[in-house]
Amino acid sequence: MSYRTKTYDPGRFDIPITIKRKSKTQNEYGEEIVSLVTVTDAWAEKELQQAREFRSGNAGVEASKKAQVVAKYTFRFVSGLAYDMIILDGDEEYNITKIADKNRQQYSEVIAQTNVN
């Protein structure tokens, strides 16, 4: 019985991304400061999975549109990926919601979504 594994064309990894994790430190006054620390930079393939728009505001008040985007990123395997990390794609910040290692840990596949602000 032979198994065929999916191979990826490296040329399809055309989106530069940065994977970051949140780091908590304290300043001289004992206040907690949350900063983002870079885990790695990578080239990825991005597939939009879903996009939703929300309206907020009350009657008589100008409503504002808010959007949430869900995307799947595929990139070379990154060890130690965790759900508390984020992906920076240009100016967009995506929270990681699912992680899968593909093709015997040659590639990582991540589902991530933006926050609704």
CATH of the domain at 62: 2.40.10.270
The residues facing 35 across adjacent strands are 23
The answer to whether residue 77 scores a pLDDT higher than 80 is yes
Q: Is residue 7 part of a domain?
A: no
Q: Is residue 8 part of a domain?
A: no
CA distance linking residue 14 with residue 19, whole number of Å? 16
pLDDT tens-digit readout, 81-105: 999 999 999 999 999 999 998 887 8
Number of domains in the chain: 1
Domain hosting 48: range is 14-113
For the entire predicted model, the pTM comes to 0.76
